[in-house]
Structure 1
Amino acid sequence: MSETFVDLGFVTAPSGVVVLAMASWIDEWPRVGEPLSVRAAAAARAGGGHLQEWEYEAVAVPAAADRPLAVRATTAPSVFDEEPTIATLEVELGLPWPAGADPAVPVLLGDLPVDRGGMAVGDAVGLDAWTGLEHEPADGLADLSYWGRYGKDAHERFGGEQLPPHGGDEGPYGWLDLPVAEAVALEAEISTWQGGLRGRGVATMVEKHVDYLRFRRAGLHHPLHVGAIEVGGCRVLGIDWDPGDHAVRHHGGRDWGQAFPVTLEADGAGGTVLRWTIPPYEENEDD
């Protein structure tokens, strides 16, 4: 039976190297040695390969530098809530299948766990510019949200809008696109709010507009939590996971055997694709 793919968008790779990486750690690679782009280029020269340093993991492969590269996926019902989740992620590389290689035999590059913070697909050099949680946002803006047992009482006092939910039925209150200093000051005011409650039962969060937040926000309304952003002058796709689905299906990652094969495969039309396959969940009968 043929697979049914859904289109997720496209990425660009002007460096000629595409990376599928755990989004939580992209900006951390230089702290433990060479930048991600240097490691990825070396893997690509060998035809592709798996990169790992501590908890940081990625797969890098050569790709066409002169065209958009389509990204698509097959889906399967989540074991958490039966909503669609990614079962196969496929990236068109724009390169011919190697002459003399058997198109019926995939080339195993390694495996990857599903990062709780999502995955990113994009150009290796472009991703060197990725900003994580410890960076300052290029636009100087941040989102402020608050929620909890006394969230509605705090809303009456401070205002704000009902923000879109992320992995739940009801979103928090808050504000989008505030100047960072204003967001930090307002968070401090809410956190120390007296009102007879002393802030008990009100949790707050300031999220600066770094790339890590931008991709998650871009995919907030996508059924598969996929969002496109520009990083380092390149179009990057970020793929988030529903927290409930991740907790049931992928919690523990590699340490619990939850790492899934990444291969190079023939696309049936003479081309090559990068494929990440997440097999169906098999519940232990003793659970």
Structure 2
Amino acid sequence: MSETFVDLGFVTAPSGVVVLGMAGWIDYWREVGEPLSVRAGVAAKAGGGYLREEECEAVAVPAAADRPLAVRATTEPSMFDEEPTIATLEIELGLPWPEGVDGPVLLGDLPVDRSGMVIGDGVGLDAWTGQEDEPADGLGDVTFWGRYEEDAHARFGGERIPHPGGVDGVYGWLDVPMAEAVALEAEISTWRGGVWGQGVAGSVEPHVDYFRFRRAGLHHPLNVGAIEVGGCQVLGIDWCQGDHSVRHHGGRDWGQAFPVTLEADGTGGTVLRWTIPPYDEDEEG
């Protein structure tokens, strides 16, 4: 694993609380009890803590409210394609390391969510919109792929656009009104039977936050995208699906959860660190 950190961007946390959580479940916290902001606030007041409710998992910690907080990572080659993947994620908290505390301080552990990970303000993330929500701008992106994608392109049109599902991108259209997007995807998907491996598969990604961060990270080598949520800058990490399937599939149920700690940064400050150790073939199975 490389010990050289690369900058991923920054987040803002005007509430004084930073959350690292599973992107696929951020909007679900409010469905299973108290909002994320309430839970995160309690954990931050205690110096930081691990949160879990059903499938929702996150860690919340106190942070400086008056400045951008840098996020960086070390990388290692993916088992899937040898491209860089995150090995250590580190979030600057803008707070001094507390006197008399021996570090690191273990807060808990987190699995790698197939839907990605999110870093953001504990209150701002209450506004997060997920896959079942309506896009604020009423727009969505339409993509299609499969055995007959070239035939479908000749029939329906579309442009090559970057997409995690295709090395060379996939065909589709960006920023389409949702009613039109849904109708277009249905027409394409049923054009040759709508069966995987026999026809053309299609997808509509509405402009909710879950899809916005994925689109924002399409050109980043580690699939990191910055978006605004609840008036705060949020970073999302859209994990490579191949790497996730090879390395992280099964998540917590298969022991694939990794330690999250508070640590001194060497200059008197505090960082939140999520450490994903190198793969050990001897531990497979």
Alignment TM-score, normalising by the size of structure 1: 0.95
SS state of the match for residue 225, structure 2? strand
Q: Tell me, yes or no, if the aligned pair for 2:216 and 2:224 is still in contact at 8 Å.
A: yes
Cα separation, partners in 2 of 1:2 and 1:250, compared to 1, 3 Å:
closer
| Aligned positions of 1:27-106 closer than 5 A | 27-102=27-102, 105-106=103-104
Q: Tell me, yes or no, if the aligned pair for 1:167 and 1:244 is still in contact at 8 Å.
A: no
* C-alpha RMSD of the superposition: 1.5
| Aligned positions of 1:125-140 closer than 5 A | 125-140=123-138
Deviations 1:206-241 (CA, angstroms, capped at 9, x unpaired): 110000000011001101110000000000000111
Find the partner of 2:172 among 166, 171, 174.
174
1:158 alignment counterpart: 156
Report the CA distance between 1:167 and its aligned residue: 4.6
Kindly indicate which of the two structures has a greater share of residues assigned to strand: 2
Deviations 1:53-84 (CA, angstroms, capped at 9, x unpaired): 11110000000000000000011111111111
Report the CA distance between 1:285 and its aligned residue: 7.5
Find the partner of 2:234 among 223, 233, 236.
236
Q: Tell me, yes or no, if the aligned pair for 1:207 and 1:213 is still in contact at 8 Å.
A: yes
Q: Name the stretch that deviates more: 250-259 or 170-179.
A: 170-179
| Aligned positions of 1:254-269 closer than 5 A | 254-269=252-267
Q: Aligned partners of 1:147, 1:267: CA distance in 2, in Å?
A: 46
SS state of the match for residue 131, structure 1? coil
Aligned length: 282
SS state of the match for residue 167, structure 2? coil
For structure 1, which runs of at least 5 residues remain unmatched after alignment?
A: none
- Report the identity percentage: 80
Deviations 1:166-198 (CA, angstroms, capped at 9, x unpaired): 1532322110000111111212222333xxx44
Q: Aligned partners of 1:177, 1:92: CA distance in 2, in Å?
A: 34
2:221 is equivalent to residue 223 of structure 1? yes
Q: Aligned partners of 1:3, 1:155: CA distance in 2, in Å?
A: 45
Cα separation, partners in 2 of 1:84 and 1:2, compared to 1, 3 Å:
closer
SS state of the match for residue 58, structure 2? strand
Alignment TM-score, normalising by the size of structure 2: 0.95
Q: Aligned partners of 1:210, 1:2: CA distance in 2, in Å?
A: 35
For structure 2, which runs of at least 5 residues remain unmatched after alignment?
A: none
1:122 alignment counterpart: 120
Report the CA distance between 1:13 and its aligned residue: 0.1
Q: Aligned partners of 1:268, 1:191: CA distance in 2, in Å?
A: 55
